[in-house]
């Protein structure tokens, strides 16, 4: 079996799962920040916690793991190409974004959120923009 193609497939599966969480969690935050009833807030807290810890965190770690295995398969000389440098920088930004969402998760968990629903609607666009750029970088390798 070709280990490169196996790692690539597993990398893509992990990325799809991670991106789903990065796109969905801020949307839950929008609804949570607009919630009026304590019972609604309790449901959102449960949804947020399970999404972050049981889907997003493992998917992020697996994305990194299989990405590193792909790089190892290709050889670290791939970092001499500008498209890979840019992709890596964008993945690092997504990782920081992931942990920023974790901080907001903690704020909601202790009823200490100070951000508006509009704020969460705006930051929800960050992973979409990064995803589009990364896909074009990986497919076309323009630089």
Return the pLDDT at 54.
98
pLDDT tens sequence across 68-126: 999 999 999 999 999 999 999 999 999 999 999 999 999 999 999 999 999 999 999 99
The token pair at 46 is 């449960």
Please state the φ and ψ torsions of residue 62, each to the nearest 5 degrees.
Answer: -70, -35
Helices and strands counted in the chain (H then E) = 6, 0
Extract the tokens encoding 70. 């792909």
More confident residue, 89 or 1: 89
- pTM, two decimals, is 0.94
**Looking at the 3D structure of the chain, how many domains does it have?**
1
Query: Domain residues for 100?
Result: 3-140
What percent of the chain is predicted at pLDDT more than 90? Answer: 98
Alpha carbon distance, N-terminus to C-terminus of the chain: 31
Structure tokens of 76? 């670290």
pLDDT at residue number 92: 98
pLDDT for 142: 86
């Amino acid at each position: 079996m070709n280990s490169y193609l196996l790692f690539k497939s597993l990398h893509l599966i992990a990325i799809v799962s991670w991106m789903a969480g990065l796109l969905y969690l801020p949307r839950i935050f929008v609804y949570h920040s607009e919630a009026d009833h304590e019972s609604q807030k309790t449901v959102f807290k449960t949804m947020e916690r399970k999404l972050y810890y049981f889907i997003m965190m493992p998917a992020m770690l697996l994305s990194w793991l299989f990405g590193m295995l792909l790089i190892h398969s290709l050889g670290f000389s791939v970092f001499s190409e500008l498209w890979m440098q840019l992709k890596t920088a964008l993945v690092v930004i997504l990782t920081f974004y992931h942990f920023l969402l974790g901080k907001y998760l903690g704020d909601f968990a202790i009823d200490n959120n100070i951000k508006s629903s509009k704020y969460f609607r705006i930051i929800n666009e960050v992973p979409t923009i990064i995803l589009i750029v990364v896909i074009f970088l990986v497919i076309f390798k323009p630089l």
